[in-house]
Amino acid sequence: MSLEGVILDVDGTLVLSNDAHAQAWVEAFADYGYEIGFEQVRPLIGMGGDQVMPRMVPGLNSEEGVGKQIVDRRKELILNKFGAQLTATPGARELVQRMQADDLYLIIASSSSEQEMEVLLKAAHVEDLLNEFTTSSDAEESKPAPDIVRAALEKANLAADRVIMLGDTPYDVKSAAQAGVDVIAFRTGGFSDEDLSGAIAIYDSPADLLQHYKESPLAQLAERIQQIDSHLTMIQIT
């Protein structure tokens, strides 16, 4: 055995969608009479709607009333307006293919709906490669809570110390850390290295990680786990 799996974030990690999500929030709030600036909501992208809503308008709840209507409108905008404009992060498909070639179990940890996931994976050109994922229905709280990462671990039957997560926001880093999972972060999400400081490594993009794959924490962890397993096997044999 070696490194067994990789948990994947999608927005900002495999597809350049963070700005679109922020703009969708701005327009959704505006449709219900709330003036929220792009610069206000953009730093929160990476959180789920249950986290964003009360930070923008205290008192609103994403599960009911006007708050839910705004969340539904944001989803509608992503599906019908912004989705067709999205593009993949550099090297997204090639990195997924490389990890699959290494027999790594890949699962997506996202609080997006299944409808949104379909649009995002298509934009990332990986819809034919990835079919294991969590959705908003798999967790009580979204990132930065650890629920969605833990749900991915449970669904894939993977141990946290044999997994690495790929993400692009500080909320990915915090969520994974609380679940005991290390994160490799990408700058494609628009966050600074300081924001991503909890990650074990930071790369410009999936293409950058792929270029340095053999020296990356992915390869290093795989080698370290393989050495441990080999040692345990020798002990059992003797």
- Residue-level pLDDT at 220: 75
* The two structure tokens encoding residue 112: 């997006």
Cα-only R_g, the chain = 18
Binning pLDDT at 50, 70 and 90, where does residue 186 land?
very high
Question: Phi, psi at residue 165, to the nearest 5°?
Answer: -105, 145
* The two structure tokens encoding residue 44: 């929160």
Q: What kind of architecture, by CATH, is found in domain 18-85?
A: Orthogonal Bundle (1.10)
Whether 5-16+87-237 and 18-85 share one fold: the answer is no
| Residue-averaged pLDDT of the chain | 91
* DSSP-derived secondary structure for 99-113: HHHTT-EEEE---S-
Q: Alpha-carbon distance 170 to 152, whole Å?
A: 18
Whether residue 56 has pLDDT greater than 80: yes
Instruction: Reduce the DSSP state of residue 236 to 3 states and report it.
Output: helix
Residue-range domain boundaries for the chain: 5-16+87-237, 18-85
Q: Are strands 182-186 and 5-8 parallel, antiparallel or unpaired?
A: unpaired
Q: What is the pLDDT of residues 6-54, one digit of tens each?
A: 999 999 999 999 999 999 999 999 999 999 999 999 999 999 889 999 9
Q: Which numeric CATH code is attached to 5-16+87-237?
A: 3.40.50.1000
Give long-range contacts, CB 8 A cutoff, 24+ apart: 209-213: 209/91, 209/95, 209/166, 209/184, 210/91, 210/94, 210/95, 210/98, 213/98
Q: Is the pTM above the cut of 0.85?
A: yes
